[in-house]
Amino acid sequence: MNTHIKLKSFLATFFLLLSFGINAQTMLSEKEGNTKEDYKWRKNYINLGYVNTTMEQDGSLDLNSNFGATFSIGRTFFLHKRPIGGVFRFGIDATWFDINYTNYKIKNITNEDTKNNEYQQGEISMNVGPSITIKTVGKLTIHGYFRYAPSFSGLYNNDTFYGNYATFFVGGASISYCAIGLGIESRFGDCKYKEIGSSKEEVATNNKTKYNGWRAYLTFRF
């Protein structure tokens, strides 16, 4: 897939999600029982972002990601009805669905040939953790959080698929104007992979694979 096709796919996804967010926002405002004040404190979020990660394995050189993407959907449950000082509210963030994909490229150079190798790596997870939402001047809102993210992680290389449970943590902040904003977060964790799908019994790798990186994203809150 060339760069132009990737860009077109990204823009199509962006505008689709934007349309979804605006429609959902309108439906929520028309819903009976929602006060104007509740509507201003936007509880639901959709994030679409770019991933940059370093993969560390004992006995191997650290690998920096070639490119990556993330998509997540969740909701903030506020712990108190009235904002403290009319400015901020504490809550619990629950991300129902978080998918993370990263591509790593390796160039092996020998006396005879140069061979390119790739790792396809990703996780599907749910996140939960505390958050704080702060109303600033005008319609600007700041949202900060730290979440525990139990995950299933998969790694594909040389026609072999590895997978296992992985423990990740995510922490970051976003700033939004009305329904649209930008955010950045740190994401780190590890996994001890097992080979899956072979004729042999699943065999665990000896060492943990560690990940440490960041994700920058567009957020839609409604």
The Cα 221–Cα 161 span in angstroms is 36
List the chain pLDDT tens, one digit each, 222 residues. 454 555 455 555 545 544 554 454 445 444 544 445 544 789 999 999 999 999 998 878 899 999 999 999 999 999 998 999 889 999 999 999 999 999 998 876 666 666 778 899 999 999 999 999 999 888 899 999 999 999 999 999 888 999 999 999 999 999 999 999 999 999 999 999 999 876 454 445 557 899 999 999 999 999
Residue 26 pLDDT:
46
Residue 84 makes CB contacts below 8 A (sequence gap 6+) with 90
Domains in the chain: ranges and CATH: 42-221 (2.40.160.20)
> pTM of the prediction?
0.76
